[in-house]
Amino acid sequence: MYEFARGPLVWIAFAVFFAGAAYKLWRMFALAKKERVVFPYMDLKFAARSVAHWLVPFGSRNMRLHPGMTLATFAFHICLVVTPIFLMAHNVLWHESWGVRLPALPEHVADAMTFVVILVALFLVARRMFTPAVAYVTYWSDWVVLLIAVGPFITGFLATQGWFPYDAMLLLHIFSGALWLAAIPFTRLSHMLYFVFTRAYMGCEFGGVRNAKDW
């Protein structure tokens, strides 16, 4: 089972991710072209300005009005992306499978970043449960997406801590990681694919049409 999980399952997950991402982006561009108002608005200066600005913590007024949420979401997204790519154990697998070497995070740093993801996930759960404005627009799919996103971190943390049988937790970690990767194009996790393009369009509409900033 481990050999299947580490080999064919990972390849399937990557194939689903890349195929799904390519389809979603193609469909987005096709719809944008059909609208006939998207591409004429596009301007590199306004697009780059908007994308760069929204990648800076506390850059927008809304971020400054909610400092706790801003810190939590930035920490969550940074750790969610950086940790699996530069984790030492994953780097060993990158090298064994594809001969790729990346800088590796020290173990204590990777553990801390994993803990940040789990803590912020708990914060987001509490927010969805006890903040009326958020609870009202929360659906069962939101809980599933959050579980998919955090699942690899929870199972990886439990596997390294040795609180449960290591082999079982390792398999759960690999399966949850494959599910996370494959689910990106088909769930709300797809905002990682769309962010640059939607933010670029908003920046161009505000900057080139309304002569205003989009923050």
For 121, the domain range is 2-209
* CATH code at position 124: 1.20.950
Interatomic CA distance for residues 23 and 44, integer angstroms: 24
Task: Tell me the chain's radius of gyration from C-alpha atoms.
Answer: 20
Task: Answer whether residue 55 is part of any domain.
Answer: yes
pLDDT digits (tens, 9 = 90+) for 35-86: 877 888 788 888 898 898 889 898 888 889 989 999 999 999 999 999 999 9
Mean pLDDT of the chain: 89
Task: Answer whether residue 175 is part of any domain.
Answer: yes
pLDDT digits (tens, 9 = 90+) for 110-129: 999 999 999 999 999 999 99
The count of domains in the chain is 1
Task: Answer whether residue 164 is part of any domain.
Answer: yes
Task: Answer whether residue 156 is part of any domain.
Answer: yes
Cβ-based neighbours of 82, under 8 Å, separated by 6 or more: 105, 113
Task: Answer whether residue 215 is part of any domain.
Answer: no
CB contact at 8 A, 88 and 104? yes
Task: Answer whether residue 214 is part of any domain.
Answer: no
pTM of the model: 0.87
| The pLDDT value given to residue 101 | 82
| The pLDDT value given to residue 143 | 95
What does the block give as tokens for 111?
Answer: 């553990």
